[in-house]
Amino acid sequence: MNRTELNALLDQLALRGNHVIVHASLSSFGHVEGGAVAVCAALIDAVGDGGTVMMPAFTATETWFRPAPGEPRARPVAFHGDLSVSRPVGAIAEVFRRLPGVLRSNHPTHSFAAWGRHAREVLSTQRDNNPFGPLKKINIMRGHVLLLGTSLQTATVIHIAEERFGVPYLSRGTAVRVNAAGYDERVVLENLPGCSAAFVKLDACLEPAKVKSVAMARGSARKIPVRHLVQLAAALLDSDPYAFVCDQPDCASCAGKRAALAAAETRPPHAGQKTAS
């Protein structure tokens, strides 16, 4: 796939002026001349000067990548602005966060990278106790999730619905970050998300008229309004608080979710979880 073909693909999604949170798999494009750099450049061209491109720049630290039982705990990785993104986040996200003009937030585990006129404004909403701030801002701006060869499992905006619903399994943790003086400091993080494998349940709920979809070499490219996904996720949680607990028996994250949900069910009504607003 060359640059002209990339531009043609993205043009079909009508991205001009859009604010998008992108989750992308480079392999889904097939062979790309220029690789991830070409994909990132095409995305920036597609939204234009009035749009915003944002991608996860999550980093593997002790907070959410823990050793298996019996294995020694590695020395925690101190977050700094040039720390590589975690491998599962993908090559496109790693290239994007290093591009000239791209900014990155300072959250030790769940940072985001963004380009565009509103990039600084969007990223400035993130705090150690508010990892979803940039996603909430994209939602307010009537933005879209852009899935390029990835499934809804990668759609981090769905965590907004979990927070709104008040699920008891968003967790507290710690991480290490290099501070302004250049020293490592341990910080406390709140509302950390867990496993997202069960997010794919929302595929059956999507309204076809609200989803733009284009075939790719492997899979598809989909543009979905953030607001639509969050509303669907909130409705699903309202009917079943366990909706986003996956069924993989070896998933430690979802084992923790089940325990937290079960504990919440035994509390007195006044001390229970919040309901969706």
Q: pLDDT digit string (tens) for 171-222?
A: 999 999 999 999 999 999 999 999 999 999 999 999 999 999 999 999 999 9
Cα–Cα distance, 136 to 36 (Å, whole number)? 27
From the list 100, 104, 97, the residue with the least C-alpha distance to 126 is: 104
Q: Do 157 and 229 contact (CB within 8 A), yes or no?
A: yes
**How high is the pLDDT of residue 108?**
94
pLDDT along the chain (277 residues), means of 10: 95 98 97 97 97 95 51 71 94 97 96 97 97 98 98 97 96 92 94 96 97 96 98 97 95 95 81 45
Summarised one tens digit per residue, pLDDT across range 237-249 is 999 999 999 999 9
Report whether 60 contacts 86 (CB < 8 A): yes
Structure tokens at 2: 């060359």
pTM of the model: 0.90
Distance CA 84, CA 98 (A): 9
pLDDT of residue 275: 47
Q: What are phi and psi of 256, to 5 degrees?
A: -65, -35
Count of Cβ atoms closer than 10 Å to residue 135 Cβ? 28
What pLDDT was estimated at residue 77? 80
pLDDT for 75 equals 61
3-state SS of 83-113? CCCCHHHCHHHHHHHCCCCCEECCCCCCCEE
- pLDDT of res. 241: 96
H or E, element range at 11? helix 3-11
Give dist(CA 181, CA 63) in Å, integer.
Answer: 23
Q: For residue 234, what are the β-bridge partners?
A: none
* Whole-number pLDDT of residue 266: 86
Measured on CA atoms in the order 132, 138, 139, 140, is the torsion positive or negative?
positive
Per the DSSP assignment, residues forming a β-bridge with 202 are none
